[in-house]
Structure formats: structure tokens, C-alpha cells
Chain A
């Protein structure tokens, strides 16, 4: 696994003379000493570190191939998502912008059918327009047919830190005034489950994802939704 990861890092660094481990550390958020030990194949990184590195160094199919080979269960989930939506795994500079709440909102609007200067101004004011100018400058967003559109038509992020940061954005952007309208919900469940309950829950979420995929494919339109969910264990007994 380490040799394959090193090969991907080498390919990425070989593409431009300005690329080195230090830049990779900055773009991936992985501390330099950790990255150096991984590169020198001295220790096995956590999955979180692997995903953060892959998100920068590997193109979509390269990342999926690596995950499929070394982390099949995660690779299967991500692969299904990426292929199902015909999405590209987004690049490092783009992902950095998603960490800002307003930039996230602008990118979301631009990627879901396009937006305009006027819309951004009315929603986020001068602060939003400044963010928009920055996104235009770095070509994360461009103008086409009178609309501001995203660099990617459909994209996926595989760095779990950025996925979670975006989920936080969706919480902050949640509009309480919409409660009561169809598809506006805030749900939370905490309880103890047996192993079979966990399996059942996992199956249920997979089916839900498959249904979402069908809905997003078949019912495109102007209502831009933010739907996010997370599920994990507060405590888990090791077998």
C-alpha cells in the first residue's frame, strides 16, 4: 500500500516542478512529518490521512483504483457515488474554498444549474461578492451563457475533514423559517443498537443513497437542496 501511495505522490510531484512534499502538506492538511514518514514508507497512515493525500495527488480513477485495491469497503462506497453521479473528485485548490461557508454556498449554487452576481449580492452582500471574485480569479467558477457556473458539473470530495466541514456549513445555512415545508427536516437519533441493528441501519442507508441517486437524476430543477447526514458511534465495543 505504501509503495503504491508513494508512486502516486511521485507522479503528482513529477507533473510540475513547483510541487513537493511541503506543498502537498499545505494542500492536504497532513502535517509535514507525518507525510514524510508515509513517503519514506516508515509507517502506515490512517485512512483519514490516505484520503487527504489521495484527494490532492490522484485523479478520480487513480484514487478509486487505489481505494478499491487497499480499502475495498470505502472504495466501493465512493466508487458507487462517483460513478453513479458521473462526478469528478475535486482538486486541492477548489477544496480549500469549500472550507469557507459563503464560498461553499456560492459553489453549491453555481454547480446546481448556475447563479448570477445579483443573486449572490442579494443573499450574501459585499462579502459574498468578494468571495465570488476570488472564485472567478482562481477559475473555480466561470461565466457561461450569462450564468456563473462551477468548474465541475458534478463533483465529489473524498477528504473526510472537508466533507465534515461542509456538513457544518449546511447546519449553519439551515433556514428555520422553512421548517414545515416538504423535504425540510432536522433529525437526530441516539440510542444503543445490537450488531444486527447496526447491519440493518447500514443496509437502510445504502438503500436511501440509491433512492437519492435516482431522484437527483430524474428530477433536475431550480430548487437547490442541501441534504447531509452523518452517522457514527459515540461508543463501540470491540469484538
Chain B
């Protein structure tokens, strides 16, 4: 049994012995440590910020529409002038 184990070990190590030519020149950032994972797309903070941005956008748009409505008659008055 011991002999069989030893034989298996020899076969295994033979199987793992490399041969042939493995050559090349590379470089740059060869084999670097993996980059840090990107930050989560929506952290609690960014989600809150995102909602606040949306509200702000909505308010700005509302104000813009309001101003537009107010300015329309005067434009009409100007355009209707001879």
C-alpha cells in the first residue's frame, strides 16, 4: 500500500513538471495587486443626496415654469405692438 502511495506521488509530480519553452518579456503594471472594488453606486448618503438633487431639480423646474407663465403676457404685449 505504501508502495502504491509513493508511486502515485511520483506520477503526480511528473505530471506537474513543466517542460518546453515558456518565454517572454512583458512589463508595465505586470501582475499588480488587484484594484480596490469600486464604491457602491448608491450608498445611503448618495441615495439621500440623489433624492435631494431630484427635489431641487423639480423645484427649479417649477420656478422656471412659473417665471415663464408670468413672462408670457408681456412677450405677447411686446410682439403684438406695431
Contact = CB atoms under 8 A, between A and B. Distances in A.
Interface of A: 51, 71, 73-74, 76-78, 80-81, 84-87, 107-108, 111-113, 153-158, 160, 163, 166, 199, 202, 205-206, 209, 213, 216-218, 220, 224
Contact of A74 (B15, B23, B27): B27
Contacts, number: 91
A177 B26 CA distance: 31
A108 B23 CA distance: 12
Nearest to A149: B19
A205 B29 CA distance: 11
A157 B21 contact: yes
B24 A80 contact: no
A137 to B, nearest CB: 21
Given A76-B31, A77-B31, A80-B31, A220 B26 contact: no
**Residue among A71, A77, A166 facing the most chain B CB atoms (10 A cut-off):** A77
Interface in B8-23: 15-23
A155 B25 contact: no
- Most A CB within 10 A of own CB, among B16, B23, B25, B31: B23
B29 to A, nearest CB: 6
A217 to B, nearest CB: 6
B30 interface: yes
Contacts of A156: 21-24
Contact of B18 (A78, A154, A202, A224): A154
A220 B16 CA distance: 8
Interface of B: 15-31
Given A77-B31, A81-B24, A199-B29, 15 more contacts: A73-B30, A74-B30, A76-B27, A80-B31, A81-B22, A87-B21, A87-B22, A111-B20, A111-B21, A112-B19, A156-B24, A216-B20, A220-B17, A220-B19, A224-B20
Contacts of B28: 73, 202
A202 B27 CA distance: 9
A3 to B, nearest CB: 23
A189 B17 CA distance: 34
Contact of B19 (A154, A206, A213): A154
Nearest to A104: B21
The 10 closest A-B pairs by CB, nearest first: A77-B30, A77-B26, A85-B22, A74-B27, A85-B18, A112-B20, A154-B18, A73-B27, A156-B23, A157-B23
Contact of A220 (B15, B29, B30): B15
A87 B18 contact: yes
Nearest to A164: B25
A86 B17 CA distance: 8
Contacts of B22: 81, 84-85, 87, 154-156, 213, 216
Contacts of A154: 17-22
A216 B18 contact: yes
A227 to B, nearest CB: 10
Given A216-B18, A217-B16, A220-B15, A77 B27 contact: yes
